[in-house]
Amino acid sequence: MGRIERVAVIGAGTMGNGIALWFAKAGLQVRMRDVSPGILDRARQAQEGTLKAMAAAGAIREADVAAILGRIHPTTQIADAVGDADFVLEAAPEILDLKRAVFVEVEAAAPPGVPLASNTSGISIGEIAAGVKDPARVVGMHWWNPPHVVRVIEIIRGPGTGEAAFRAAMDLTAQVGKKVVVCQKDVPGFLGNRILYALLREAMYCYEQGIGTAEDIDTMVREAFALKLAFMGPMALLDLAGVDIYHNVARYVNGSLCDAKQVSPAAAGMVEKGTLGLKTGKGFYDYTNTSIPDLLKQRGQQMAGLLKLMGP
């Protein structure tokens, strides 16, 4: 497959609108589809805000903002979105039946053979592809939030994924300036979220058991080892410390680590109470008197600064 020029992004939520924005920044023509004009309008506003913040930070030129937005074409119609696409990326909510329905609809409207990718963060690619006629076209292409900042994309080959779709996802990732990570098996959570959720499970366990407060847990992760992990990753960190050291400590510690199969009771209780974090104004922290847009902007600037230190 040659260079991709036209992409369709199905879903204009937090991930979809950010992915569409990055494709457009890379010079591609983007059709961004969602079910209502209101959702598309909010996505457009978010994209404009992100671009202005990027311009203020020197990541793009102010003069480029209008051109990038001009390459994103919102629509509520599947056929309009995918009819002439070279590549289709689904970014619908993480509901298997919904994703399956989207893929059936997209397959019927997209040109034959065009790769159909899913941005799912953990649902089996094989299960998503179960309803399509040609599962060889379906591949996982998992972006990370925020997609305009995090520079890695996880590519997942489902049991039926063909070489053409897999290679197209790999090539497109490189084309838009992102780094490829290949998840070698179509397992729940793929590679990234399996590692992340192991950390989150133990953090929740320490919180529930009174081993540490939310503040202490965050401080420990952020200040004690996250900085090192940003520059070397866990496997290189093991090499640095010595695998023998890990072996000896793990023999003592591993048996006491959380191995629960169910979701954290603390998290379930928070969901029941509606204290969901930033989106509700309260989670582990109280954001009542916090400007959420300013907080997100600050975090984005911090991540961008860290990326510069990490190098190419």
Helix H or strand E segment including 31: strand 29-33
Give the catalytic positions in this structure: 121, 142, 154, 193
Query: What is the Cα 212 distance to its own chain's centre?
Result: 28
Residue 33: beta bridge partners? 10, 75
DSSP 260-300: -SSPPHHHHHHHHHT--BGGGTBSSSB-TTS-HHHHHHHHH
Query: Crossing angle, helix 265-273 and helix 192-208, to 10 degrees?
Result: 90
Which segments of the chain does DSSP mark as H helices, in order?
14-25, 37-56, 64-70, 78-82, 96-109, 125-128, 163-175, 192-208, 214-219, 227-241, 243-253, 265-273, 292-310
Q: Which of 8, 173, 165 is closest to 92 using CA atoms?
A: 8
Phi/psi at 307 (5° precision): -60, -40
Which residue in this structure is represented by tokens 């920044």?
25
Q: What is the rounded CA–CA span in Å between residue 119 and residue 98?
A: 13
| Two structure tokens written together for 17 | 């609108």
Q: Which of 168, 170, 191, 146 is closest to 299 using CA atoms?
A: 146
Phi/psi region, residue 177 (left: phi>0; alpha: psi -120 to 50; beta: rest), is left
Query: Crossing angle, helix 292-310 and helix 227-241, to 10 degrees?
Result: 40
Q: What is the maximum alpha-carbon separation in the chain?
A: 59
